[in-house]
């Protein structure tokens, strides 16, 4: 399974930007993987809180659409400055399909569900993505080792412990929407490795995010969603989601997809609930229970096992 972003995009382009900033990116593959993991762990773990805040001024699907549409346009500006080869209509269509699933429907369903489901519980439910990814890969013919299944099961055990210790309530409809969002994400990532996408990875990235945002925005408008009264904090949260949650984090995730296994790349879905719960405790005063502490240890053990198996398989 592959993703339209890759190391040629994210770590050949980023040094040009970093050269203008007081920042030096890691020169080794291991260092870059560590940086990418840190980005997706921390940034996507914090987006649940950002979405919760942004919903104060933005309806869910419209927020997802506008966030990704603006991010896609920003990336496209950079792409056009590089004078790339323009993709064919088929490649544009495929990018739109993948983008609709990944950044349109997935983000939209999550935002919709979070109207009635807490941020921590949402992050817990999204952690089913690695299971969906593994099942889809197995159905498609990829050989999944027993240790990979064990790592997935261990991670889900940690999620179950964390979910059991969460006393917050949410509607059945909201929970179903969140699970659909997780399934859309896994399916979109799978299609990204099967469909013919634009050869220029920067253009491909911009088209996926942008077209996915266009579809989500149109659906939101047709369904009757309209902007609410704008407030400072929701607007700042929206800008964070657009600039950091979409543009930066998707680049890091794409690098992981290209340079590690699907289990490693999807491990962020296990760590994100821990980050979300931690931010809730620090910023919202939510209590940290014994179940949270135990679940954190189990989840980190699952991620560590995934790393060890991935490196062992590459050295074999």
pLDDT tens for each residue of 5-33: 333 444 444 445 444 445 566 778 888 88
Degrees (nearest 5) of the Cα angle 99, 114, 74?
35
Token representation of residue 223: 């369904």
Outline where 114-248 has alpha helix (H): 119-126, 129-139, 146-164, 172-192, 201-222, 232-240
Give the residue carrying structure tokens 């590089």: 82
CB neighbour list of residue 193: distance below 8 Å, 6 or more residues apart: 1, 2, 3
pLDDT digits 0-9 by tens, 157-182: 887 787 676 555 556 788 888 888 98
Q: What is the pLDDT along the chain (316 residues), one digit of tens a residue?
A: 334 433 344 444 444 544 444 556 677 888 888 898 999 999 999 998 898 899 889 998 899 899 999 999 988 887 888 788 889 999 999 999 988 898 888 888 888 888 887 777 777 778 777 778 777 878 887 777 777 788 878 878 887 787 676 555 556 788 888 888 988 988 887 887 788 888 876 788 889 889 999 988 998 899 888 888 889 999 999 999 999 998 888 778 767 876 777 667 777 877 888 888 788 778 877 677 787 788 778 877 887 777 777 666 666 5
Locate the domains of the chain by residue range: 31-315
CB neighbour list of residue 241: distance below 8 Å, 6 or more residues apart: 47, 50, 51, 54, 63, 67
Token representation of residue 238: 């929206």
Alpha-carbon radius of gyration of the chain: 19
Distance between CA atoms of 119 and 46, rounded to whole angstroms?
10
Q: Residue 155: which of 134, 186, 139 has the closest Cα?
A: 134
Q: What pLDDT score does 304 carry?
A: 76
pTM: 0.75
Q: Residue 289: which of 124, 159, 166, 119 has the closest Cα?
A: 166
| Beta carbons of 60 and 214 less than 8 angstroms apart | no
């Amino acid at each position: 399974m592959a993703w339209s972003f890759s190391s040629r995009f994210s770590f050949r382009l980023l040094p040009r930007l970093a050269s203008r900033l007081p920042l030096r990116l890691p020169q080794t593959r291991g260092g870059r993987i560590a940086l990418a993991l840190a980005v997706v762990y921390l940034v996507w773990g914090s987006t649940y809180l950002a979405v919760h805040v942004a919903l104060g001024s933005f309806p869910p699907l419209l927020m997802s659409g506008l966030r990704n549409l603006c991010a896609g346009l920003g990336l496209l500006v950079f792409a056009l400055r590089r004078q790339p080869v323009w993709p064919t209509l088929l490649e544009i269509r495929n990018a739109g399909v993948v983008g609709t699933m990944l950044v349109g429907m997935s983000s939209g369903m999550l935002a919709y569900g979070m109207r009635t489901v807490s941020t921590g519980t949402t992050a817990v439910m999204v952690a089913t993505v690695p299971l969906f990814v593994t099942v889809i890969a197995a159905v498609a013919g990829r050989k999944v080792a027993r240790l990979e299944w064990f790592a997935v099961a261990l991670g889900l055990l940690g999620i179950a412990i964390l979910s059991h210790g969460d006393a917050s309530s949410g509607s059945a409809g909201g929970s179903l929407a969140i699970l659909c969002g997780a399934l859309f994400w896994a399916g979109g990532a799978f299609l990204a490795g099967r469909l013919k996408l634009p050869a220029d990875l920067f253009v491909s990235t911009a088209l996926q995010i942008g077209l996915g945002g266009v579809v989500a925005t149109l659906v939101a408008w047709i369904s009757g969603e309209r902007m609410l009264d704008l407030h400072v904090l929701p607007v700042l949260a929206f800008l964070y989601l657009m600039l950091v949650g979409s543009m930066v984090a998707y680049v890091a995730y794409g690098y992981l997809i290209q340079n590690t296994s699907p289990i490693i790349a999807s491990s962020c879905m296990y760590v994100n609930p821990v980050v979300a719960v931690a931010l809730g405790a620090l910023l919202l005063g939510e209590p940290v229970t014994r179940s949270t502490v135990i679940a954190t240890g189990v989840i980190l053990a699952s991620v560590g096992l995934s790393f060890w198996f991935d490196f062992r398989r590459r050295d074999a």
